[in-house]
Structure 1
Amino acid sequence: RTYAIGVLGMLVVLSCALALCPTARLLSTARLSTARSGVAVALDAGNLVQFEKRKGEVSIGALVSPDEKTKRNWLVVDSAGTSQSVPPKAIRLAVPGAKASKAAEVAAHESAAAEALEKQADVLDDAWDLALDDATTELELHTLAELFFGSAGSTDCYAALVLLESPQGRCLFKVKVVNNKDGGAEVGFLPRPREEAAALKAQLEREDAVAEEGSALQRRVDECIVLHKAQGGAGEARAAPFDVEAEAEEVRDGFEALARLGCRCDGPDKRDMDEPEAADAVAARFLQSLERKGTPAAARQLLLQLGLWELSDEAMLPMLRQRVPNAFSEELVEAARQLNDSPPADEDEASRRDLTGMLSLAIDDPSTQEVDDAVSIEMLEGGKQRLWVHIADATRYITGGSALDNEAQRRLSSIYVPSGVVPMLPLSLGAGLLSLRPGVEACALSFGIMLHSDGGIAEGAVGGWDDSEAANSKAAVIVTTSRVRATRLSYAHVDALLRRAAREAGGAEAEFEGGGSAEGEAL
């Protein structure tokens, strides 16, 4: 009873003292808060402490005084002389024996730690080997500082702490924190068993390898972007796009997810965005690993910078959102190259009709590269005419079931937009062997359609080409494989020809309402 009364009296006296002394009240609150949070530190003015400035960013500073404004935090000065209010839970550890009041003293400890990190492998491994002789005994920080550096001054202790908290140090030693009654804590370090340390080192090496791969990828991406920025005008060869296929599987998956994210809306159009996909999160993390924002706009920008998206016009986005591909795999590009280098034998050579003597007109925009159709008019007896429509014969070169055939069936056709074209097949084929190039003999599938003198389509049988002109004249439609030689005309050229024909027909220009472009008038 007497003991209880004595303790109660002491508590009353302590409460009165705290009530009369605001600074003492702040010190007590900070100590108690620190003890509850399990932080290994005793808070006293002048102590050198390690604290967390931002999440994951640790710094060192000197405790100046309790913060009167918050009634809980401490004012801490760092090596730059900057004072900041730090909550007790952000203060991680006090440096044994260290007292500091100036920024220069804080900087001296940071400098010692930086030097220690340069030789961490040797001192850590040696100290760990020695500590393993008695692996059950906890080592204090100043003891480890002696092992590391041969002395245990405050700068040595802080440098030892930085070493122990480094990734290599955590592989070799584990920390044990026990709170004590005065609001601080006792900190001990135990050497890890060899098997445990080896496993942690192996994991660290794997993580370092992943980080190095990420850095190497960043360098390759940056180099490709610089290359594309440096390319010259339209006459200069385009820089090669980033070689995604040469990357590891996880990087290829990242770029695939990137393309999906790039197709999504953002900004004012967010209301039109599709439901999020798992790939969006993958793409966002991938972008963040390349130090970019994880947004659709950032995805589009990167794909354009790397030459993976050649068309930046917004008209492309609806097709990209429908997953319409605008690039070809290396396999397809190689298959196209082989076809160009070594065309196969023509299986229809014996039955392919020579229509190269006809004037076959391919009418397209001047920018069109894939010329896949042309027309001819054949004048027959009795005022009849046969309209020929020639379609480039892709089956002459591409066999059914091949990779190129499967890709063509998947895409169905080339897609033209104001900013360019998404080809059905690699342009080396589509604009080469499979194109009705001007003046070049090309293989085609030709349809001859009989017309009456008034231009109407004649009724009759559908048949193939026959060596007998009499038989041919009876067929309303003829279907045959052929060889043609096209003459290229632009729309403006045809426009000009029609206008001239109208004028020569007796001033009937008004009957033709085609556009009168400047190019057409010049032609």
Structure 2
Amino acid sequence: MMQNGITTSIKPQQVTFIVPGAENFEPTEISEFVQKAHDNLDPALLEFAWNELLEKNKSVTVQELAEVIYLEVMMSNIDCSFNDLFLSYQMIFGSAEPLETYCAHLLLSRDEVYFAVLESKGLSVYGPRTANQVDELLRRKLAKEASEKEFEELIQFLRSAKQKPPQDKPPRSSWKAEEKTWHKIESLEAFAIDSCKNDDQKKTAGMILKAMGQAKTSSAAVNLLIDIGYFPVHVNLDLLKLNLPTDHRDEILSAAESLLSTSTDLDEADRIDLTPLKVYAIDVDEADELDDALSATRLQDGRIKIWIHIADPTSLVQPGSIIDKDARRRGTSIFLPTATYPMFPERLAMEGMSLQQGKLCNAVSVSVVLRSDGRILGGKLNHQTDIYVDI
């Protein structure tokens, strides 16, 4: 090919389609020709041609398809049969014009539904798919388009969340509101902590990172989850890798609030009143949850009796309840330099189950009597008790 006095060669593998009748095109005309072709593309005409050819059970070349497709434009304004119009078209033009043929080629090259390639050696021949095949392919196409739209909406949401200041970022629970969104965020989280369960999670995470302009690495996934507010800034990845829960589900929080507002002590009638005792809790100043305390009294014979009081969560939480099951699953509260992750919902632990100063508290108490040298003489489990924490 000669352009601007320079000869350029084109390799055979670079040729995707040879437009019939376009041998004498000047290089300067190609751009205009291509633009006209794109301006004249109408996918609806491909469906029209499929209906016509399926009815006749006929296979066609690209040129023949162009003749069928672009007769539709003429048929919309002329009152005659398809066969008559087809013959008239052939009499006038002989065969499809280069522009129409190239348009037909573009439509077929993008088609995933209506036509299948029957022969690809030399001149390609296309045959109409069956109605059942087209219905299934259309269903898949619509599903794919819906999935792509959902993914794009997620990416827009991620970009929006990333730009917001920390106080305005979506709460962690909001990412779990819709199952499809949560599935993708869950995949990204699994990729971030190197715990993907399958290749689908890796693929989903990779797609998200690519769409967000990030490298496909676990550290990039961690940073993205921090940027959108899903992870805290000082996230502890070890907790996540060990699958240790760091928050409570909404139903657990709701059950905890219900206990605080409506629960009654089922053991109230059996509790021993130890409120006359002076009760001391020893802990750091910033402690929010006090779960043990001490008392001491001198007996008439001079010996010392020590009381050990332990907060009684069973006064609120019954065995087998939703909160009991969740606490059993957690096993313990987790105390770290950067955060505390309580076994029970925070307000329930600090208010309902804690030994609060100046308030009547439910406890399980043990007493021991000490000899004069400090050795234990004997002890007693006093079961459920009522106490006041003085200090």
Give the TM-score category using the shorter length. Answer: 0.7 to 0.9
267, 278, 281: which one aligns with 2:199: 281
| Preserved contact between residue 62 and residue 101 of structure 2 (Cα < 8 Å) | no
Q: Which residue of 1 aligns with 2:45?
A: 123
**8 Å contact kept, 2:309–2:365:** yes
Find the residue that maps to 2:143 and give its secondary structure: helix
Deviations 1:330-372 (A, max 9, x none): 33222223222321x2121122233344443334345543332
RCO greater where, 1 or 2, for CA within 8 Å and sep 6 or more? 2
**CA distance, structure 1, for counterparts of residue 209 and residue 36 of structure 2:** 31
Aligned equivalent of 2:167, options 231, 235, 240: 231
Q: Identity of paired residues, percent?
A: 25
Aligned: 1:458 with 2:376: yes
* Equivalent residue number for residue 290 of structure 1: 208
Query: Over residues 224-254 of structure 1, what are the superposed CA-to-partner deviations in whole Å (9 max), with x where a residue is unaligned?
Result: 4455x3417xxxxx85214354333x65555
1:492-503 pair list within 5 angstroms: none
Q: Deviations over 1:427-471 (max 9, x none)?
A: 1312221222333332222223333455x24222x33xxxxxxxx
Residue correspondence of structure 1 range 46-445 to structure 2 within 5 A: 65-66=8-9, 74=10, 88-98=12-22, 99-102=25-28, 105-116=29-40, 119-120=42-43, 122-141=44-63, 142-143=66-67, 146-147=70-71, 153-166=97-110, 169-179=111-121, 185-226=122-163, 229-231=165-167, 239-248=170-179, 252=182, 254-264=184-194, 279=197, 281-292=199-210, 293-310=215-232, 312-313=234-235, 316-343=236-263, 345-445=264-364
Q: Report deviation, 1:213.
A: 2.9
Aligned residues: 361
Structure 2 CA distance for partners of 1:366 and 1:133, relative to 1, 3 Å: same
Which amino acid letter does the alignment assign opposite residue 124 of structure 1?
L
- Checking the alignment, whether the CA contact within 8 Å between 2:253 and 2:345 is kept in structure 1 is yes
Q: Which residue of 2 aligns with 1:35?
A: none
| Distance verdict in 2 for CA 1:190–1:362, change over 3 Å | same
SS in 1 for 2:127: strand
User: Secondary structure of the residue that 2:144 maps to in structure 1?
Assistant: helix
Contact 2:334 2:341 in 1 (8 A): yes
Residues 200 and 311 of structure 1: is their aligned pair in 2 closer, same or farther, counting only changes over 3 Å? same
**Structure with the greater alpha carbon radius of gyration:** 1
Which residues of structure 2 form unaligned runs of 5+?
Answer: 75-92
The amino acid that maps onto 2:151 is G
What do the CA deviations read for 1:297-321 (whole angstroms, capped 9, x no partner)? Answer: 23333443454444624xx333332
Distance (whole Å) between structure 2 residues aligned to residue 218 and residue 160 of structure 1: 35
Q: Residue 419 of structure 1: CA displacement?
A: 0.9
Q: Which residue of 2 aligns with 1:481?
A: 384
Displacement of 1:486 = 3.3
Q: 1 or 2, which has the higher strand percentage?
A: 1
SS in 2 for 1:336: helix
Q: Matches of 1:347 and 1:154 in 2, distance apart?
A: 90
Q: Where does the alignment leave 5 or more consecutive residues of structure 1 unmatched?
A: 1-44, 48-62, 67-73, 75-86, 180-184, 233-237, 265-276, 464-477, 489-523
Alignment RMSD, CA only? 3.4
Provide closer, same or farther for how the CA distance between residues 146 and 257 of structure 1 changes in structure 2, counting only shifts above 3 A: closer
> Quick one: structure 1 residues 209 and 127, their matched pair in 2 at CA, closer, same or farther if it must change by over 3 Å?
same
Whether the 8 Å CA contact 1:112–1:159 is kept in 2: the answer is no
Hey, what's the Cα distance between the residues in 2 that align with 1:346 and 1:298?
A: 50
Q: Secondary structure at the match of 2:376?
A: coil
